[in-house]
A and B are shown apart, each in its own frame.
Chain A
Amino acid sequence: MSKNGYLQIHDPLKPKGHAVGIDLGTTNSLVAAVSQGKPRCVPVDDGDALLLPSVVHYGKDGGVVVGARARPLAAAHPTDTIASVKRFMGRSPDDAETRKLGHYDFVPGGKVVRFNVAGGNPVTPIEVSGEILRALKRRAEAHFSGKVEQAVITVPAYFDDAQRQATKDAGRLAGLEVLRLLNEPTAAALAYGLDKGSQGTFAVYDLGGGTFDISILKLVDGVFEVKSTGGDSALGGDDFDRAIAQRVLEALGETSPAPSLVAEVLAASRKAKEALTDAPEVSLRAGGREHPVKRSDFDAWIQPLVQKTGLVCRRAMKDAGVAAGELDGVILVGGATRVPAVRRYVAELFGREPLGDIDPDQVVALGAAVQADLLTNADRQDEVLLLDVIPLSLGLETMGGITEKLIQRNSTIPTAAAQVFTTFKDGQTGLDVHVVQGERELVDDNRSLARFTLSGIPPLAAGMARVEVRFQVDADGILSVSAKEQSTGATQSITVKPSHGLTEEEIERMLLDSIDYAEDDIQARQVREQRVDAERVLAEADRQLREHGALLQAGEKETIDAAMARVREVAQGQDHLKMKEMLHALDEASRPFIERVMNQAITQVVAGHSVEEY
């Protein structure tokens, strides 16, 4: 039963519910959906911005602020305002990432990173990401005036199992059914590939704020096959900012600068980097002085960083068995690919001018929307199928801390591998298994995914019991393990949870907590809900007025506009009953107009039928 009547009735020509694509980025996040056959980004922040800054602020009152409004709060509340949370997804508290320059208050110990924040318990990166996803979901719902419950969420191709699992859990916390975790370069190729109806082999060069990814893909007969992927999870546009900042700090004679100065210089450096895309020389103001920066100097400073990407690209081409000359196109993704030196380097590396006609900030979200549409829209099922790969090899620890690879990187998923273990002691009933991910020979240099003990092995002489362990990687790139004792045929299925992830119980508790919290504060929740409703109804009214203005009668627009203004006014306040009342008034005021709109839509449907039938 709809609370607000006419303005919430679905357009009969529009499908129910929307499956969206979400680019959950380090710096910004976006949500897009396909409508009328084309993917489009949805406004998600103030002033109809398409980019939602990935910043979450936790207030003393327990309230959460996400996006552009959260960003300025970082200065006064550095530990309560989390930016770039993606860097911490699936990481442990002793990971190098937590020791980089930053302003957070980490909870020591445990197996998952936790931030101490105002207004309640410490939060994990999964919960923080969950807040970003929830904000995107709500704002998309307001835009569509309808439910959004299914999403394709993108991840860097180079994300390991723990990071993927964490992203999926964040989606669940936000109340989203995660249709698929999609690799970001693959998403970008999907956005291009379908737009142009092309066939051929493409390279996607994705240089974001904090990570670099390269993928080689082949599109033939509607099958998008990822041939190889590679990357560097600690190389991005932020490093370009640091390259400038370092010189500025040197010029200022600062050997151990205060954090506030570092922040100032970094922010000014970022602006300078962006300005250098169009200007050959800029002046950067920091530390009370002007610092001229020439583009040629900047190019030289970042040259070693840019060259690092070339090495990864060459390896990916080799893995794919493709030479640069055989490529049909090179696609640029990520804000850092706007840097002219990067574009030049890419053109030289691949021997061709890269494609950049889709906004590099939006292209990943647009591709994700395409995949969401492909997965949910039965009419499109025969168009395109995506075959992705596992980015990093999966292996087991063997004697002496050596990694034995079981599934090679760049294997098409879903994929599986089996390994037979034998007991080495008489009467042995348990077997320790350590699963790792990465390319290095020593276990300690790779990422530890899971440790578990196979139990229930029948006590036999050493070497007699044979246990087959099977590793299955699904289409999201997520691993599950099952084991079978071959002499007795006893099967055991194990759900492998990453060593640095959350258990199922912890996720369940978080889901419950978020419900409990809402019930603690019914009043605040009602205000929030009414406000969301108001936003949604206002957006819908705007759309109807814009699209069907011709159906308005004399004086009607003025009445509706006045009612809308009253809704806007009360939506600023805290009185949810007043909001409800004004929404009802708006509904009444616009009812005759909306009825005309509906009638017209229905007439069109009927008319459409008659053409077909007669």
Chain B
Amino acid sequence: MRTHFDVFGLARAYDVDVPALEKQYRELSLQHHPDRVAPGDAKERLKALEGTTALNEAFKTLKDPVRRAFYLLKLHGVDLEREDAGAQKDMPLEFLEEVMELREALDAAMAKKDLARAQAMGTQVGTQRKAALDEAAGALRHLEAAGTPGEEAAAQVRKASHALGRVRYFTRFLEQVDAFEEESLS
């Protein structure tokens, strides 16, 4: 299977040099975009359309540390983006309780139209999200390093998957804060 890393001729790794990736993206776009193909040539245009679609998808995924982490985990067999993903059920109970409490607190702030309170919670959750992403990144770096034995690899996949599960919850929480912010300002 051709991975997003293959599209850019990169070795699979968590860390990506984003400015270099952006430069390469522009160069590849200049070469392969449908606009570079004569209007009449249907076959070449279709090829350009498919190639550029894959390039755009790869770029979107690799330039963003969160998307990149989810993608790497998927390459290790855990797809957290699927609705039926088992990872949700797999989350530790205390974390789910924590999330419930956060949600209730946010709902209360929203009911009272307390924007300052919601924003403060957003800042706090933002920090937690960053920490969870760092944890996932650590596990993924470990996994991508050569020669990780099978059993330890499984443990690292679990670690990354739990950390990214938290990232997912926190992201949804932040989206809700954002929506509330927009609503209050309009």
Contacts and interface: CB of A to CB of B under 8 A. Distances in A.
Interface of A: 177, 179-180, 220-223, 225, 308, 311, 315, 374-375, 381-382, 385-387, 411-416, 472, 474-475
B26 A414 contact: no
Interface stretch (B1-9, B52-60, B106-114, B129-137): B52-60
A475 B23 contact: no
A223 B56 contact: no
A374 B36 CA distance: 9
Contact of A474 (B22, B30, B49, B182): B49
B56 A374 contact: no
B39 A179 contact: yes
Contact of B49 (A179, A412, A472): A472
Contacts of A475: 33-35, 49, 52
Interface in B16-36: 22-23, 26-27, 29-30, 33-36
Interface string B84-97: 00000000000000
A446 B147 CA distance: 50
Given A177-B39, A385-B35, A385-B36, A414 B52 contact: yes
Interface string B35-59: 1100100000000010011001101
6 contacts: A223-B26, A375-B39, A385-B33, A385-B35, A385-B36, A414-B52
Given A311-B186, A387-B33, 15 more contacts: A177-B39, A220-B22, A223-B29, A375-B35, A381-B36, A382-B30, A385-B29, A385-B36, A386-B35, A387-B29, A412-B60, A414-B49, A415-B53, A472-B53, A474-B34
A590 to B, nearest CB: 37
B185 interface: yes
Interface string B169-186: 000000000000010011
Contacts of A416: 53, 57
Nearest to A408: B60
A38 to B, nearest CB: 21
A545 B57 CA distance: 56
A411 B36 CA distance: 20
A395 to B, nearest CB: 13
B78 to A, nearest CB: 17
Contact of B30 (A180, A385, A412): A385
Contact of A308 (B26, B30, B186): B186
Nearest to A416: B53
Contacts of B52: 414, 475
Contact of B185 (A220, A311, A382): A311
Contact of B56 (A180, A221, A415): A415
A474 B59 CA distance: 17
Contacts of B26: 220-223, 225
B99 to A, nearest CB: 20
B30 A223 contact: yes
B56 A414 contact: yes
Interface of B: 22-23, 26-27, 29-30, 33-36, 39, 49, 52-53, 56-57, 59-60, 182, 185-186
Nearest to B51: A414
A387 B27 CA distance: 12
Nearest to A404: B83
B51 to A, nearest CB: 9
Nearest to B39: A179
Contacts of A472: 49, 53
B34 A311 contact: no
A307 to B, nearest CB: 9
A414 B36 CA distance: 14
Nearest to B27: A221
A385 B36 CA distance: 9
A95 B34 CA distance: 35
A381 B33 CA distance: 11
Nearest to A439: B179
A413 B26 CA distance: 14
A574 to B, nearest CB: 40
Contacts of A311: 182, 185-186
B24 to A, nearest CB: 11
A606 B186 CA distance: 67
A251 B60 CA distance: 56
Contacts of B185: 311
Contacts of B59: 412
B60 A411 contact: yes
Contact of B53 (A308, A386, A414): A414
Contacts of A387: 29, 33
Contact of A221 (B23, B36, B49, B60): B23
Nearest to B56: A412
Nearest to B186: A311
A315 B179 CA distance: 10
Contacts of B33: 385, 387, 475
A497 to B, nearest CB: 20
B57 to A, nearest CB: 7
Contacts of B60: 411-412
A415 B52 CA distance: 8
Nearest to A375: B35
Contacts of B30: 222-223, 382, 385
Q: What 8 pairs across the A-B complex have the smallest Cβ distances?
A: A223-B26, A412-B56, A414-B53, A416-B53, A475-B34, A221-B26, A414-B49, A414-B52
A318 to B, nearest CB: 8
Nearest to A474: B49
A386 B35 CA distance: 9
A467 to B, nearest CB: 16
Given A385-B30, A412-B56, A315 B182 contact: yes
A220 B56 CA distance: 17
Most buried by B among A374, A414, A415: A414
Contacts of B36: 381, 385
B126 to A, nearest CB: 14
Contact of A415 (B23, B57, B186): B57
A416 B30 CA distance: 20
A130 to B, nearest CB: 21
Contacts of A412: 56, 59-60
Contacts of A386: 35
B86 to A, nearest CB: 17
B159 to A, nearest CB: 28
B170 to A, nearest CB: 17
A223 B22 CA distance: 11
Nearest to B34: A475
